[in-house]
Structure 1
Amino acid sequence: MKTYILDPISEEALAYARKQLEIVTWNDPAIQVVSEAEAIIVRTYTIDKKMIDQMPKLRIIAKHGVGTDNIDISYAVSKGIIVTNTPKANSNSVAELIIGLILDCAHKITASHCACMQGLKKNQPMFLSGQEISGKRAGLIGIGHIGAIVGRRLQAGFDMQVLAYDPFLGKVATEAMGFAYTEEIEDIYRTCDVISISVPLNDQTRDMIQEAQLRMCKREAILVNASRGGIINEAALCRALSEHVIYGAAIDAFAAEPVPQDHELFRQFNFVGTPHNGANTRDALIQMGMAVVDEIVRVQKGRPTLTHVGYSI
């Protein structure tokens, strides 16, 4: 199948793709003319109705990653195009970043680094005093592959109690994972010391956390979002951090990306931001790249794909 790669992928995955498929790479001038594409591999490139209409031979959109909000899935499905993703390939990498961000906020690691660069008159200044997370309560909003890994590692590594909210998973499945379950998301805000968000961006989750939700939280709470931008209202979060409504926050996914250099959140001492970098590890890039190629090969051979986003098969 003639496959267009619209974003950079790992060299290992690219070499694998070239063995399996007819490839037009992302930096090839021919990428500007996509009418011959039968398959596309996409990371961040926007695949909207206009783009889809330029590819009359397209059979599969293979998302190199989990989130598919950059793809017009309903339109693709209406045209008979398969949309797949790689829901497990980057889970470890993103989960590790989330735990790193939690520790960064709790122990003011980035803030301490910046303070050292600016110059300090003495060690251990009180304004860099942090807090422990061991033995405290973590709240998971969303318990997919990533949320489950984060919960298990916070339990095992930091002896944290884990309270989880996921209306799609439910009480029985959640408790089978070893987590306490709540049917009320407000319980997460009111009782948890660390809150990690792992949900997709859709009409139900957009601006899900606004000023009212932030003011429910404990003053010692740390909030981390490494899923999708737009789930936390960034203006409300900025006010909450400025007024010390919560202890700290970290975001790996912003409403506007790449995140503007002058974003107001970066003026907050108790904030850490990263550029949607959770899945950007060598390990995850290889696994995601290999997985998307395998999905296209399955379509080429007339076999069902392992994942199918938008509707079930």
Structure 2
Amino acid sequence: MIMAEPELPVLLVDEVGGIFGVLEAHLPLLKKHFHLLTMKELLENKACLSAKVEAIYVWWCRPVVDRELLKTLPNLKVVATSGVGVDHLDLKLIAGFGVRIANAPWGVRTCTADIGVALLLAAARRLMEGCQVATSPHTEYFPCNIIGDDVTGATLGIIGMGSIGYQTALRARAFEMKILYHNRNRRKEDEELAVSACYCAKIEDLLQHSDFVMLVVNLTPQTYKLIGKRELELMKPTATLINISRGSVVDQDALVEALQSSVIKGAALDVTDPEPLPRDHPLLKLRNVIITPHLGSRTHKTTRMITEEAIDNILAALRGLPMPSEVFPD
């Protein structure tokens, strides 16, 4: 007698491929463990398909997991999101439906630290301006007045010394930078010594002494607009603000004012609020700003690691086991 193969659990995704869908390169990996169902397919046949969905994979904040969707899926057991941030999920709402939540923090550590250092270097050495001059059809000679700042020996202040912040500090040590950091919890002494980092119990001390301030915190009610007018005015007028966390960690109106009035020298942002900014936003018109489209974790290796981590979490949840990266509402 030939035994039928067990039916794969149904995993809901926003779409496959396209601008917002899960990457086509990851489909063999996902299809090995799950039957994939897109939001379009679900909406076209709710009556037959809603009860089959056991898991949701949120790729780049999609699909939106709201009350309406949760009420539609009576057998949903887990929501797994790509990346470390969970500010796009209503954790209490999801948990209130008896659904477990997981993120994917491990794969993003090194590549997000890389983008932070890349933005620091680009801002310090005015690479964007230099590229525009070098490639402009109107350039007849290279001007000598594009003068940048030294990174070697400068002071880097890291706000948020979690796994990404620590990876950033490791990279900064290669440039012989002096490292200050502010964190909810102080790192162990041997970890501080490994990167020659000095702990600042008060964020004010870090802001006043740093040539570059890098934001590497999760977005929470406590970090919302953590950097505002007061904090910007504490920074050196020669300092650069770098944000690789979430756009809402910075009061963008205050940042525009600080940049326009030379309260600080510049900013380099991989994140904004919203994303993308409206095309007439003043940040897009300033020469002393670099903005990239949330590239932090977007490498071939990292995106695959994120998907692998999500699969591990989902399978653990469906089997009633501890998830490697479970997130709780509190």
Same fold (TM over 0.5): yes
Tell me if structure 1 keeps the 8 A contact 2:80–2:101.
Answer: yes
Q: Deviations over 1:122-174 (max 9, x none)?
A: 31331x2111110111111001111110011101x200111110013456576
Give the aligned partner of residue 28 of structure 2. 15
Q: Deviations over 1:45-80 (max 9, x none)?
A: 232233322222110000111111111101111222
Give the aligned partner of residue 29 of structure 1. 41
What is the CA-CA distance between 1:188 and the residue it aligns to? 1.3
In structure 2, C-alpha distance between the alignment counterparts of 1:230 and 1:118, rounded to whole Å:
38
What is the CA-CA distance between 1:31 and the residue it aligns to? 5.6
User: Alignment partner of 1:3: what SS?
Assistant: strand
Give the aligned partner of residue 237 of structure 2. 219
In the TM superposition, 1:1-313 aligns within 5 A as 1-6=9-14, 7-25=20-38, 29-30=41-42, 33=46, 35-36=50-51, 37-43=53-59, 44-45=61-62, 46-116=64-134, 117=136, 119-126=138-145, 128-155=146-173, 157-169=174-186, 172=189, 175=192, 177-178=194-195, 179-310=197-328
Q: Deviations over 1:110-130 (max 9, x none)?
A: 12222342633431331x211
TM-score by length of 1: 0.92
Q: Deviations over 1:271-296 (max 9, x none)?
A: 00011111111111111011101111
Give the aligned partner of residue 3 of structure 2. none
Q: CA RMSD in A?
A: 2.0
In structure 2, C-alpha distance between the alignment counterparts of 1:135 and 1:243, rounded to whole Å:
27
What is the CA-CA distance between 1:19 and the residue it aligns to? 0.8
The aligned length equals: 309
User: Alignment partner of 2:79: what SS?
Assistant: strand
User: Alignment partner of 1:230: what SS?
Assistant: helix
Amino acid at match of 1:19: K
Deviates more, 1:108-117 or 1:130-139: 108-117
Q: Looking at both structures, which has the greater relative contact order when contacts are Cα pairs under 8 Å and sequence separation is at least 6?
A: 1
Tell me if structure 1 keeps the 8 A contact 2:181–2:200.
Answer: yes
Q: 1:60 to 1:184 in 2, by over 3 A?
A: same
Deviates more, 1:282-291 or 1:168-177: 168-177
What is the CA-CA distance between 1:233 and the residue it aligns to? 0.9
Tell me if structure 2 keeps the 8 A contact 1:174–1:181.
Answer: no
Q: Structure 1 unaligned runs (5+)?
A: none
Deviates more, 1:252-261 or 1:195-204: 252-261
Tell me if structure 2 keeps the 8 A contact 1:4–1:31.
Answer: no
